[in-house]
Amino acid sequence: MSNVNFVDYVKIFCRSGKGGAGSAHLHRDKLTRKGGPDGGDGGRGGHVVIRGNSQLWTLLHLKYKRHVFATHGGGGGSDLKTGASGEDAYIEVPLGTVARDVETNEVLFEVTIHDEEKVLIKGGRGGLGNDHFKSATHQTPRFAQPGESGEEGWFILELKLLADVGLVGFPNAGKSTLLAAISAAKPKIADYPFTTLVPNLGIVKYRDDRSFVMADIPGIIEGASEGKGLGHRFLRHIERNSMLMFMVSSDSNDIAEEYRILLKELEEYNPELLDKQRLLVITKSDLLDDELTEEIRKELPDVSYHFISAVANQGLVSLNDTIWTMLNS
């Protein structure tokens, strides 16, 4: 997905339909001059509904459609006929979309299953016809209820990528290179920081037609949890991943310290992220000889680790084996 086409945050204005008015009709036909009340109820107003769609990967289609309106319910008719319900307005979203109220920032719900439907705002109820108000003392009521008004408001739709493995690391740690090497994804790759400006998803094929989804999260910087850089925008994508793979380049001055900083940023953003399975991957290991590799091993933190080189195709098979084992443990 290109930088231009990937949209993971939109603000939309929605309005549900108002309910139809009840009917105050009195029964009349050629045999009945003064019949009783037979007014039907009004139809309900249309809802605004969010629906999950596994074929979508971005909120781009909503970027230029900021207003979504459902239709109103129809009025009740004679002979106790109920008015037609208003037509619901459906908003298709990718899986992993969270809906928030703009004013309170409250999370209303999240959509994670294909064809899952959540009502964002309900349509107004239809008014009751005059048949509901007849009684022994008031046999011909000539009034009915009006329909309820619909609801309206601004809402935020925010995408959190659904992936099995999230790649976490500082800019230029080799995340995009790895994703390109083991999946069909084609992220932009260059030898300078912040090449990746949007998350990239890749499906990694494993043995016997099995596979898992890997997400390349744009490089985190120190202070990302406080909103520095594009911190909050990218950190939220990590919340959905089943496991986190921390990537640190072998030419780093202090691999253990980089890992500690990354861990600290995740903890400050959301402490629950530390409950996920973790794997440390030292990239560009083709630059190391055996002696230097052993020295680095002695200084690594107490976490499962792998040495790889995506360019030289070193350690990738065993890395996939480890990932698969961790995902299915």
Judge residue 106's burial from the number of C-beta atoms within 10 Å of its C-beta, 0-12 exposed, 13-18 middle, 19 or more buried: exposed
* pLDDT surpassing 70 at residue 313: yes
Residues 64 and 133 placed together within one structural domain of the fold? yes
* pLDDT surpassing 90 at residue 220: no
- What was the pLDDT predicted at 93? 95
Least confident of 26-30, 161-165, 236-240, 246-250: 236-240
Distance CA 75, CA 126 (A): 8
Least confident of 152-161, 184-193, 289-298: 184-193
Distance CA 298, CA 300 (A): 6
Beta bridge partners of 99: 109, 157
Q: Which of 159, 177, 203 is the C-terminal boundary of a domain?
A: 159
b/e per residue 140-154 (b: at least 16 CB within 10 A): ebeebbbbbebbeee
Residues 92 and 216 placed together within one structural domain of the fold? no
* pLDDT surpassing 50 at residue 309: yes
- What was the pLDDT predicted at 246? 93
Which residue segment(s) compose the domain that 253 sits in?
Answer: 165-327
Distance CA 34, CA 218 (A): 75
Residues 174 and 319 placed together within one structural domain of the fold? yes
Mean per-residue pLDDT over the chain, rounded: 86
- What was the pLDDT predicted at 196? 46
- 188 Cβ contact partners less than 8 Å away, ≥ 6 residues apart: 176, 195, 196
- Kindly report whether the global pTM for this prediction surpasses the value 0.85: no
DSSP result, 198-213:
S-EEEEEE-GGG-EEE
Residues 151 and 235 placed together within one structural domain of the fold? no
Residues 109 and 180 placed together within one structural domain of the fold? no
- What was the pLDDT predicted at 180? 84
* pLDDT surpassing 90 at residue 19: yes
Give the domain CATH number at 105.
Answer: 2.70.210.12
Residues 120 and 219 placed together within one structural domain of the fold? no
Residues 231 and 83 placed together within one structural domain of the fold? no
